[in-house]
Amino acid sequence: MTTVPATTPEALDERYGRAKKRRLPWIIGGIFAVIAVVVASWVTVSGSIDNVSVADRGFEVTDATSVTVSFQFSAPRDRPVFCILEALDEEFGVVGWKVIEYSATEQHTRYLDESVPTVARATTGLVNSCWVN
């Protein structure tokens, strides 16, 4: 007489190659994906926190020894900002420059007019760059 093995769900799964679903690798992979997204987000945000955007609004050649530069910048609140202003001649040579420190304020955007002394007559004035300290 032949004995018939018991038919259980585990025996059927083993016989037909159906394995139990393993969730642990998916859970670990999901955790790593969430960590990667959080790190990438932090790198993006922390890199842009100290950005200063500058827009030249114009200039006026006051006389042979100065030019007035009009500009605006947007910077983080409560952080001092430094800007480099330049005056150029008709051949784009630097004939004057000035580094200015703006104290920390609650304002996000500031509109400014600054005079730049020159050693020769300028034909233009502009903001070279601005940064937070």
pLDDT at 5: 67
Query: For residue 77, what is the domain's CATH number?
Result: 2.60.40
Q: Are residues 43 and 28 part of one domain?
A: yes
Q: Which domain holds residue 40?
A: 9-49
Alpha-carbon distance 15 to 29, whole Å? 30
Residue type, 91: E
pLDDT at 46: 76
Full strand arrangement of the beta sheet holding 109-117 = 53-63, 66-74, 109-117
Residue 33: count of CB within 10 angstroms of its CB: 10
Q: Are residues 89 and 101 part of one domain?
A: yes
pLDDT at 11: 79
pLDDT tens-digit readout, 37-96:
999 998 888 777 778 899 999 999 999 999 999 999 999 988 999 999 999 999 999 999
Token pair for residue 42? 């932090």
Model confidence at 12: pLDDT above 90: no
Look up the pTM and report it: 0.64
pLDDT grade for 121, boundaries at 50, 70 and 90: very high
Alpha-carbon distance 104 to 26, whole Å? 48
Number of domains in the chain: 2
